[in-house]
Amino acid sequence: MVLVPPTSIPLSIRKKMGIGSKSGTAIGAGANGEAIRYGDRVLKATYDRYEAFAAVKLMGRRHPNVYRIFDVGKHWDVDGYGRFGPDWIFFIWQEYLDEPTSMQKAAGNAYLTFSYHGIDSNFQRIRDMAKIGPHIKKWKGKVGSFLPDIYAEFWFRYDREKEFRNVESLFSQFLTALEELNRGNQYLKQLGIHFYDFSEHNVMRRGKEIVIIDIGADRVENPVEPRQFEGAP
């Protein structure tokens, strides 16, 4: 972990978020920005406008399978934040969540398949296949169609965790995580947030349930611009 000095964040944002002079802990960085932890909250700085649009829609709302957003704003970054020049940088004040379980990671990767198939009908197929119990082993190593692709992700994760032996119990956890992701995704769609970039890197855990995070949406209906934070860095 790398401590991030408060002077790296504009003063107006530090005041608004109640950070003051505290140093945060860097917990992640990517092509569009970085995330800094402050206790039970995270300040994310990003250039992804659609992630900011989605965050504005989620601000103040609660769903067991979608991360909580407390505040969203933007700041004109004259230095380009290490990119190609001046641009708007968006700050998202969100909850800190725990690492997902192995089966939740597998579900995060597998759920991407639902982006290319009918979600509701295929979830019924998943439920039907869950009834085969110990016979799920017959799907190991088979790929090339919807259901085997889903199971391939399960077996890939299972094979990496050699201490796990109760296949049926783990498969039940895998299906539960898929169901929870589907509930979260349906909630996003109700809000006009269309998100398809599902993977193990876009899920975390709150208690026992899987949670969708970092929603860089492909499309947000009737988007609202975050307000501008005033003041110089």
Reduced to 3 states, what is the DSSP secondary structure of residue 223? coil
User: If 0-12 CB within 10 Å is exposed, 13-18 middle and 19+ buried, where does residue 192 land?
Assistant: middle
Give the separation between CA 219 and CA 103, rounded to whole angstroms: 28
Tell me if 220 sits within 8 A of 53, measured CB to CB: yes
Residue 127: the pLDDT is: 63
**What backbone phi and psi angles, to 5 degrees, belong to 103?**
-70, -30
Residue 232: the pLDDT is: 40
Entry pTM: 0.83
Query: What secondary structure does DSSP assign to 178-215, as a single string?
Result: HHHHHHHHHHHHHTTEE----SGGGEEEETTEEEE---
Q: Which of 38, 40, 39, 48 is nearest to 13 (CA)?
A: 38
Estimate the crossing angle of helix 167-190 against helix 146-160, to 10 degrees.
120
Mean pLDDT, the chain cut into blocks of 10 residues (233 residues total): 53 73 76 82 90 95 97 77 67 94 90 66 61 53 55 71 68 87 92 91 96 90 87 46
Beta strands in the chain, from DSSP E residues, in sequence order:
2-4, 24-30, 33-38, 41-46, 69-77, 87-95, 193-194, 203-206, 209-212, 219-220, 227-228
For residue 205, give both structure tokens.
């855990």
Q: Which of 198, 8, 2 is nearest to 89 (CA)?
A: 8
Residue 1: the pLDDT is: 43
Residue 218: the pLDDT is: 82
Record: fold of 2-96: Phosphorylase Kinase; domain 1 (3.30.200)
Domain residues of the chain, as ranges?
A: 2-96, 102-212
Reduced to 3 states, what is the DSSP secondary structure of residue 18? coil
